[in-house]
Chains A and B, each alone.
Chain A
């Protein structure tokens, strides 16, 4: 299995809603990442987990809350989002040494619309 899967594919939520994005991989990777990509812009790194510990938080607002319950699963909990948070949210994984610069494998993304 060489895939990173993300659910849901699409999500529409109001500004008062609470929702979660899910990312899963079964490649034995120990590093997982969340990126945000606005339309026609490059992806921007949000969070990095290495061995289930948060190692990088790129000053992301607290309305985004990541969680890594185990080495295969990465969640992004969303609460009180703003319309400008609408974007494609991409998850990625790599073998486990992010600082050494490994190949990252990306999921298809969740397209989020905040109304």
Chain B
């Protein structure tokens, strides 16, 4: 059974810093790895999706990488802003399921 772990569980940084969120998964037989953002009490917003054949995806200040062989993905956020404060979840999509990590709660202080 796929297990997805996210480190750190919480992160607080000053505005303007670059930061990296980590996601690891135990079963490398995935179709894709997706990063989401969730604001308190809200639904999920898809940020980036990396197919299993890809190494990275970029969207604006966000860059996600995928290393299937080591079971790792990272989300890089450049020049963080207070509006980036949210919980960031990664999800590994397998044959019959989609497993989420517990998330990293990010706070960007002005």
Q: Which residues of A line the B interface, CB within 8 A? A: 4, 6, 41-45, 56, 58, 88, 90, 92, 99-109, 111
Establish whether residues B97 and A45, one from each chain, have CB atoms under 8 Å apart when the complex forms. Answer: yes
Establish whether residues B43 and A106, one from each chain, have CB atoms under 8 Å apart when the complex forms. Answer: yes
CB neighbours (8 Å) of B42 from chain A are 108-109
Establish whether residues B101 and A56, one from each chain, have CB atoms under 8 Å apart when the complex forms. Answer: no
Nearest CB on A from B38, distance (A): 9
Which residues of B, 56-110, contact A by the 8 Å Cβ criterion? Answer: 89, 93, 95-98, 100-103
Chain B contact patch, size range: 20 to 34
Q: Which residues of B line the A interface, CB within 8 A? A: 4, 30-32, 34, 36, 41-46, 49, 51-52, 89, 93, 95-98, 100-103
In the complex, the chain A residue whose C-beta lies closest to that of B51 is: A101
Check A42/B43 contact, CB under 8 A, given A56-B96, A101-B51.
no
CB neighbours (8 Å) of A111 from chain B are 41
Nearest CB on B from A50, distance (A): 11
